C-alpha cells in the first residue's frame, strides 16, 4: 500500500497555489478547532465569533491586536531570514527574555530618569542582548558543530531561570513586598502610546515593526547577502561552490533572529507590561515560528500572517473567559495551523503519482 504512490516535485509552483496555502491552512485549523472544542461542549458559532469578529469589533480590541501583532511579526521577520538559510533558531523565546532582562537593567538602575535617550538605549540593549544570546548557539554551531535546534531550545530554559534568578534578586523592587517584579519603569523608558488619551494600550513599537519589516523586505529581495542566505539554504553545495560561507550564514541568521527577538522582548517591558516580571510572553517566540512559515518566509506574507495570529490570540483570550474555551486552545490551534500548512504546502509543491506495479519490485 505504501509503495503504490509517490510524490513528484512540480516543475512550476503556481503563484495562486502559494497564495491559497495560508488561506486553506487557516480555514482547516479553524474548522479543526471548532470540531474539537465543539465536541468538548463549547458553542461552535460562539467560538468562531469570538476568534474572528470580536477582536476587530472595538477600537480597544483592535489596539490589543496591534499589541500582540508587533512582537509576533518582528520575531518572525528575524527568524524567517534564518529559516530561508535552513538555520533552525527555535530559541526566540529565550532571546526575547534575555533582551527584556538586559534592557530592563537601564530603567531599573535609573528609575527617576527623565533622559529621553533611555528608550533608544533600551532598544539597542535589547537587540544586542538577544543577538548575544543567540550568538552562543552560533559559536557552538560554527566551532563545535553542535545542533542549533537543541542548543537554542536549552538556552530557552536557561533564559527563564536567569529571569527568575534576577527578578527574585538584584532586579526585584525592594519596596515590592514578596512580589517578584521590578519597579515600574519611568515614562522615558516606555514606548509612547498611540492614542493621546491613554485609553488604548497600543504603542509606537508597531512603527518600529513596520519599518523593520520593510528593511527585511529590502534585505531578502534586493541585497546580495539576503540572496546568499537563500541559496545557501536551497542548494548548500552550489552555494559553497560559489564561495558562500555556511558559517557566515549561521552567524547572520542567528544574530538577526536574536536581535529581533531581543527587541521584541524589550518592546513588551517598555510597552504593555511596563516593568520586568516573571511572565513576559505568552509564547510569542514559538508562535512566531508558525507565523514565519505561514507567511511563506516572505516579509509581506509574515506581516499578514502575524496579524492573523494576533487576532486569534486576542480572540482566544476572550473566548477562554466567555465561551468556555480551554486555556490550551491557542497552542492547539497553532499546532494545527502548522500541521495543515505543511500538508497543503506539499500539495502545491508536489504531484501525487501512481507508481507502475512492476517498477516497485
Partner 1 sequence: MTDTIIFILAGAFATATPLLLAAIGEAVVEKTGVMNLSVEGMMAFAAAVAFGVTHQTGDIVLGFGLAVLASTALSLVFSVLVLGFSANQIVSGLAVGILGLGLSGLAGRHFENLTMIGPGNQSVPVLSDIPLLGPILFQQSVITYLAFAAAFLTWWFLGRTRQGRILKVVGEDPAIAHNLGFAVVRIRLFAIIFGAVMSGIAGAYASTILTPGWSDGLIAGRGWIAVALVVFGTWRPLRIAFGAYLFGALLLGDLAVQAMGFRIPSQIMTSLPYVMTIVVLAAVSRNALLIRLNAPVSLGQNYRPSK
Interacting residue ranges for partner 1, rule: CB under 8 A? 2-3, 6-8, 40, 88, 90, 136, 140, 143-147, 149-151, 153-155, 157-158, 161-162, 164-165, 168-169, 286, 289-290, 293, 326-336, 338-339, 341-343, 345-347, 350, 355-356, 359-361
* Complex with partner 1: residue 308 or 345, whichever CB lies closer: 345
User: Residue 119 or residue 319: which is nearer to partner 1 going by CB?
Assistant: 319
Instruction: Report in angstroms how near the CB of residue 281 gets to partner 1 at its nearest.
Output: 14
Please identify, using beta-carbon distances, which residue of 175 and 361 lies nearer to partner 1: 361
Minimum separation from the CB atom of position 361 to partner 1 (A):
7
3-state secondary structure of 351: strand
Minimum distance of partner 1 from residue 194's CB (angstroms): 32
Q: Spell out the SS3 assignment of 295-330.
A: CCCCHHHHHHHHHHHHHHHHHHHHHHHHCCCCCCHH
223: cell is 541585497
Q: Are 153 and 137 in contact (CB under 8 A)?
A: no
Q: Cell numbers of 84, please?
A: 530561508
Cα end-to-end distance, the chain, whole Å: 13
Q: Which of 214, 191, 189 is nearest to 66 (CA)?
A: 191
Q: How far is the CB of 144 from partner 1 (least distance, A)?
A: 4
Find the length of the chain.
Answer: 361
Nearest CB to partner 1, comparing residues 149 and 194? 149
Residue 129 to residue 85: CA distance in whole angstroms:
23
Shortest distance, CB of residue 76 to partner 1, whole angstroms? Answer: 14
Q: Which lies closer to partner 1 via its Cβ, residue 186 or residue 283?
A: 283
- Locate 174 and state its grid cell: 525592594
Amino acid at each position: 500500500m505504501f509503495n503504490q504512490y509517490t510524490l513528484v516535485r512540480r516543475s512550476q509552483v503556481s503563484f495562486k497555489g502559494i497564495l491559497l496555502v495560508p488561506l486553506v491552512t487557516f480555514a482547516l485549523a479553524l474548522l479543526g478547532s471548532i470540531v474539537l472544542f465543539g465536541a468538548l461542549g463549547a458553542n461552535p458559532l460562539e467560538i468562531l465569533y469570538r476568534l474572528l469578529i470580536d477582536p476587530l469589533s472595538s477600537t480597544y480590541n483592535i489596539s490589543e491586536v496591534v499589541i500582540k501583532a508587533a512582537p509576533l511579526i518582528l520575531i518572525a521577520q528575524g527568524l524567517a531570514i534564518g529559516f530561508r538559510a535552513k538555520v533552525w533558531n527555535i530559541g526566540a523565546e529565550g532571546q526575547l527574555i534575555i533582551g527584556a532582562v538586559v534592557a530592563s537593567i537601564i530603567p531599573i538602575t535609573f528609575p527617576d530618569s527623565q533622559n529621553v535617550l533611555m528608550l533608544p538605549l533600551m532598544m539597542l540593549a535589547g537587540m544586542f542582548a538577544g543577538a548575544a544570546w543567540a550568538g552562543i548557539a552560533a559559536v557552538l554551531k560554527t566551532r563545535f558543530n553542535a545542533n542549533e535546534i537543541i542548543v537554542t531550545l536549552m538556552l530557552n530554559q536557561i533564559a527563564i531561570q536567569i529571569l527568575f534568578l534576577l527578578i527574585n534578586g538584584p532586579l526585584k523592587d525592594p519596596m515590592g513586598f514578596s512580589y517578584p517584579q521590578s519597579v515600574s519603569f519611568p515614562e522615558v523608558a516606555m514606548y509612547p502610546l498611540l492614542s493621546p488619551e491613554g485609553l488604548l494600550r497600543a504603542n509606537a513599537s508597531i512603527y518600529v515593526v513596520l519599518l523593520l519589516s520593510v528593511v527585511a523586505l529590502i534585505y531578502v529581495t534586493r541585497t546580495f547577502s539576503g540572496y546568499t542566505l537563500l541559496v545557501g539554504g536551497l542548494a548548500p553545495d552550489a552555494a559553497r561552490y560559489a564561495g558562500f560561507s555556511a558559517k557566515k550564514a549561521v552567524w547572520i541568521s542567528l544574530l538577526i533572529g536574536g536581535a529581533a527577538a531581543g527587541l521584541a522582548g524589550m518592546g513588551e517591558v517598555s510597552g504593555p507590561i511596563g516593568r520586568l516580571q516573571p511572565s513576559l510572553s505568552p509564547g510569542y517566540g514559538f508562535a512566531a515560528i508558525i507565523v514565519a512559515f505561514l507567511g511563506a518566509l516572505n516579509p509581506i506574507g509574515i506581516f499578514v500572517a502575524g496579524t492573523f495570529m494576533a487576532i486569534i490570540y486576542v480572540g482566544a483570550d476572550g473566548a477562554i473567559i466567555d465561551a468556555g474555551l480551554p486555556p490550551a486552545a491557542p497552542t492547539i490551534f497553532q499546532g494545527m495551523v502548522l500541521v495543515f500548512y505543511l500538508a497543503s504546502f506539499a500539495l502545491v509543491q508536489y504531484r501525487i503519482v501512481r507508481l507502475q506495479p512492476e517498477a516497485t519490485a
